[in-house]
Amino acid sequence: MQAARTERAAAPPDWLVHRLAELGLAPRDLAWQRLGGGRTNCLWRCKSTAGDLVCKLYDLSAATPLFGNEAAAEAQVLTALSGTGLAPELVVAEMHVNGAFLVYRHLSGTAGTGSVTACAQLLARVHQHPPPAGLRRAPQGASEILQQGETMRRSLSAERRKRLATVRPETPKVEPMSAVLLHGDPVPANFIATGAGLRLIDWQCPSVGDPAEDLAIFLSPAMQSLYGEGPLSKAHEAAFLEAYGHPDRAARYRALASAFYWRMAAYCFWKAERGAVDYAAAAELDLAMLDRAGHSQQPV
């Protein structure tokens, strides 16, 4: 199957419109509304006799070293979470010869408006749900987190390679813990405040692993800047970790925070050097947090 190229079209491509009609989800002459927000895949909304639906067409070439883009994994997780109130309800998923797509029921609400405490509580519920079999494994422990960042660092410009090498933190010793289901991309824009409560969308990079992974993505100043209203204050970060309800996991996140900041800075520079220019400024935010954390230098 070829990876679908997801140009920002006002309506789905003809093959997808035809296939949705064959599935009885939307007549060919139905009007589609292009949905904004996502930077990776294309989404459209339509209202038909089958309901208020969202169709997501994947660009399978858009995965990055930190965030995957797995259509089959998203379908698997949405199926596993059906009826839990954690995610949209899946209608159909298909790995079509022309591209991978899925259809789920539209969530009426506003993206990125959940309070930090509500977001923390929702993530805690996600982490309590048994993960479906076969999901990829997230990095476990500081050494694997830093190695993931190191892989990205090596592909950067010489100036940025040197800069990141200079501030690479030491590897804190943190004991392994039981893996949980991870959303993988819990940035503010992926939380939808609905009349029935907060929900998480964009499950295209789920995994199993350390819950601190999800906490770090949400709390990253870079991600809060790019997909929210700006970096969280110390008070909001503390409120988030308290509302999450697992002091041991919060302590684990704090122990690993420097490794997460460093990896995120490497990722943002990696993105910036591939055309996402706003990620360069975002990288500086996590580097500033790394500096405040009082990192120790380590030879690379």
pLDDT by residue (tens digit) across 216-265? 999 999 999 999 999 999 999 999 999 999 999 999 999 999 999 999 99
Q: What rounded mean pLDDT belongs to the chain? A: 93
pLDDT at 288 over 60: yes
The residue ranking higher by pLDDT, 179 or 8, is 179
Cα–Cα distance list, 17 to 10, 113, 121, 181, 182 (Å): 12, 32, 38, 33, 32
Helices (H), the chain: 14-22, 71-80, 116-128, 142-153, 158-167, 212-219, 221-227, 234-244, 247-272, 278-292
pLDDT at 98 over 50: yes
Instruction: Give all domains of the chain, ordered by start, each with its CATH number.
Output: 14-106 (3.30.200.20), 111-292 (3.90.1200.10)
Q: How many CB atoms lie within 10 A of CB 275?
A: 7
Residue bearing tokens 């692993």: 209
pLDDT at 299 over 60: no
Q: Please report the pLDDT score of residue 173 as a whole number.
A: 83
Q: Helix-strand-coil percent breakdown of the chain, rounded to 5?
A: 40, 15, 40
- 63: nearest Cα among 96, 87, 39: 39
Predicted structure pTM score: 0.93
The residue ranking higher by pLDDT, 156 or 176, is 156
- 264: nearest Cα among 292, 296, 224: 224
Instruction: Give the dihedral of Cα atoms 215, 220, 225, 226; nearest 10 deg.
Output: -80
Tokens, residue 294: 């009082």
pLDDT at 97 over 90: yes
Alpha carbons within 13 angstroms on the beta-carbon side of residue 194 total: 18
